[in-house]
């Protein structure tokens, strides 16, 4: 089957996965029906295959994609801009230091001001528990209000480029990679995925990746094993979602405080550091009230606490415990690699090196996942759109 034959088959599957994303925003995977998640995966795959076949996937003649990054980013920033570019949108980045966005009145106003000719706004806001999603929702609601009042000619979408709860573009890229690795979504059933905490010399890494992973992977009949040292709990909502999804799809969801137990017979391992939820909550409170001395103390304690779990490292010994010693190693990058980027980190150098190019391929799905979210939120009939992209005579390169 050629790439283009596969796209035809994807379009057929997509017919069975209608979504209510049109003229809406994309926030948190576990709050959407399974069909919506499937639709994003399918459209992303179709776009990636069309791109590989040299096809142009431009759908807009003009229009803008805006990004707001409240935290540093290379991978997601670049993926968002690539997604916009492939669909035909120009990109702009809102620099809040020169633009004064805050909460309340200012959000409503700014959301309108930047949306007049904008198709999509991508937002990363992951630093404060209880705030990131709320802010994205506020922008989206403000757009909805202006759209309904006729101020905006189109209902600009908001796409979650990481919030305090979920990191959907990352986790759906991870999942796309896993699906590709196992040769199809139907092969995920019964596979064991170990989402485990790992030691990092830094502190305060967001919880959105592990939360997103368990809230997503549990929907495909997989055996999801979540492992972390005591005290590093995740938020309740994604954990409850994972339990429910596992029960519904015939998989399992287990929590352990033993890294080796999670690795045992795993088909996929995702060892990655995060901060304890309670620490992140306390951190938010202290930063908000400007109690910097207590904040510094919290930080020191968190680092000390981390350091007692230095043995949570993805070593060759642990990898040997996985199914056939050959589990797929996943990471959202950048990883803290022992003896490479730090003295002790999340992963041993030899393990990482073996999977290094695979993690790049994992990341390569992200621009297409984001493009899929844009396409599904902006177009009412995605099957029709993909069919036209497939059939029209338009290449990425205009001349040869």
Per CB under 8 A, contacts with a second copy among 117-146 are 117-118, 145-146
Residue 18's nearest CA partner among 33, 34, 41, 35 is: 35
Q: Out of 114, 120, 226, 318, which residue is the one contacting a second copy (CB under 8 A)?
A: 114
Stretch that binds a second copy, among 217-225, 259-267, 297-305, 352-360 (CB under 8 A): 352-360
Stretch that binds a second copy, among 38-46, 53-61, 189-197, 219-227 (CB under 8 A): 53-61
Considering the rule CB under 8 A, would residue 103 count as an interface residue with a second copy? no
Residue 158's nearest CA partner among 400, 397, 373, 357 is: 373
Considering the rule CB under 8 A, would residue 356 count as an interface residue with a second copy? yes
Terminus-to-terminus CA distance in the chain, angstroms? 25
Map 313-372 to HEC letters: CECHHHHHHCHHHCCEECCCCCCCEECCCECCCCECHHHHHHHHHHHHHHHCCHHHHHHH
Give the number of other CB atoms < 10 A from CB of residue 247.
12
Binding mask 147-166 for a second copy (x = CB under 8 A): --xxxxx-------------
Measured between alpha carbons, how far is 279 from 162 in angstroms, rounded to an integer? 19
Shortest distance, position 356 Cβ to a second copy, whole Å: 8
Stretch that binds a second copy, among 160-168, 225-233, 279-287, 356-364 (CB under 8 A): 356-364
Q: What angle do CA 158, 159, 165 make, to 5 degrees?
A: 110
**Measured from the CB atom, is 104 or 324 closer to a second copy?**
104
**Measured from the CB atom, is 167 or 309 closer to a second copy?**
167
Residues 170-209 that bind a second copy (CB under 8 A): none
Considering the rule CB under 8 A, would residue 18 count as an interface residue with a second copy? no
Q: Are 201 and 343 in contact (CB under 8 A)?
A: yes
Size of the site for a second copy (CB under 8 A): 78
Measured between alpha carbons, how far is 389 from 387 in angstroms, rounded to an integer? 5
Q: What angle do CA 74, 39, 66 make, to 5 degrees?
A: 35
Q: What is the DSSP string of 274-311?
A: ---HHHHHHHHHHHHTT-HHHHHHHHHHHHHHHHTTTT
- Please confirm whether the linkage preceding 123 is cis (ω < 30° from 0): no
Q: Out of 9, 12, 106, 301, which residue is the one contacting a second copy (CB under 8 A)?
A: 106
**Measured from the CB atom, is 142 or 246 closer to a second copy?**
142
Q: For residue 159, which phi and psi values (nearest 5 degrees)?
A: -115, 125
**Measured from the CB atom, is 59 or 198 closer to a second copy?**
59
**Measured from the CB atom, is 91 or 249 closer to a second copy?**
91
Considering the rule CB under 8 A, would residue 2 count as an interface residue with a second copy? no
Q: Out of 255, 287, 310, 333, which residue is the one contacting a second copy (CB under 8 A)?
A: 333
Residues 267-286 that bind a second copy (CB under 8 A): none
Shortest distance, position 100 Cβ to a second copy, whole Å: 7
Tokens of 44: 């992303």
Q: Are 224 and 185 in contact (CB under 8 A)?
A: no
Residue 115's nearest CA partner among 149, 85, 164 is: 149
Shortest distance, position 229 Cβ to a second copy, whole Å: 27
Shortest distance, position 16 Cβ to a second copy, whole Å: 21
Shortest distance, position 297 Cβ to a second copy, whole Å: 27
**Measured from the CB atom, is 73 or 305 closer to a second copy?**
73
Residues 54-83 that bind a second copy (CB under 8 A): 56-64, 69, 72-75, 77-79, 81-82
Q: Name the strand (E) or helix (H) holding 65.
A: strand 64-69
């Amino acid at each position: 089957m050629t790439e283009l034959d596969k796209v035809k088959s994807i379009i057929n599957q997509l017919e069975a996965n209608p979504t209510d994303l049109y003229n809406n925003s994309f926030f948190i995977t576990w709050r959407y029906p399974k069909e919506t998640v499937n639709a994003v995966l399918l459209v992303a795959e179709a776009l990636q295959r069309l791109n590989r076949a040299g096809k142009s996937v431009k759908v807009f003649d003009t229009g803008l994609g805006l990004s707001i990054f409240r935290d540093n980013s290379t991978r997601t920033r670049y993926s968002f801009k690539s997604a916009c570019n492939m669909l035909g949108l120009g990109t702009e980045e809102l620099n809040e230091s020169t633009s004064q966005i805050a909460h309340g009145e200012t959000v409503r106003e700014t959301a309108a001001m930047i949306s007049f000719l904008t198709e999509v706004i991508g937002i990363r806001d992951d630093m404060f528990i209880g705030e990131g999603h709320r802010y994205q929702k506020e922008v989206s609601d403000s757009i909805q209000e202006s759209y309904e009042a006729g101020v905006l000619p189109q209902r600009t979408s908001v796409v979650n480029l990481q919030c305090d709860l979920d990191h959907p573009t990352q986790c759906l890229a991870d999942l796309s990679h896993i699906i590709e690795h196992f040769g199809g979504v139907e092969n995920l059933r019964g596979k064991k995925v170990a989402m485990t905490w790992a030691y990092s010399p830094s502190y305060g890494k967001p919880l959105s990746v592990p939360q997103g992973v368990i809230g997503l992977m549990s929907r495909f009949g997989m055996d999801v094993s979540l492992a972390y040292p005591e005290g590093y709990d995740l938020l309740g909502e994604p954990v409850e979602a994972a339990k429910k999804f596992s029960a519904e799809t015939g998989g399992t969801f287990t929590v352990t405080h033993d890294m080796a137990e999670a690795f045992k017979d795993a088909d996929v391992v995702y060892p990655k550091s995060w901060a304890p939820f309670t620490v992140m909550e306390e951190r938010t409170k202290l930063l908000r009230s400007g109690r910097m001395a207590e904040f510094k103390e919290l930080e020191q304690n968190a680092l000390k606490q981390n350091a007692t779990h230095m043995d949570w490292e993805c070593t060759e010994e642990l990898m040997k415990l996985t199914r056939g010693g050959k589990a797929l190693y996943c990471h959202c990058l950048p990883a803290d690699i022992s003896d490479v980027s730090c003295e002790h980190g999340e992963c041993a150098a030899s393990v990482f090196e073996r999977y290094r190019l695979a993690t790049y391929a994992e990341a390569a799905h992200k621009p297409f996942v984001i493009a899929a979210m844009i396409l599904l939120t902006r177009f009412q009939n995605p099957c029709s759109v993909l069919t036209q992209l497939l059939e029209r005579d338009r290449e990425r390169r205009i001349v040869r």
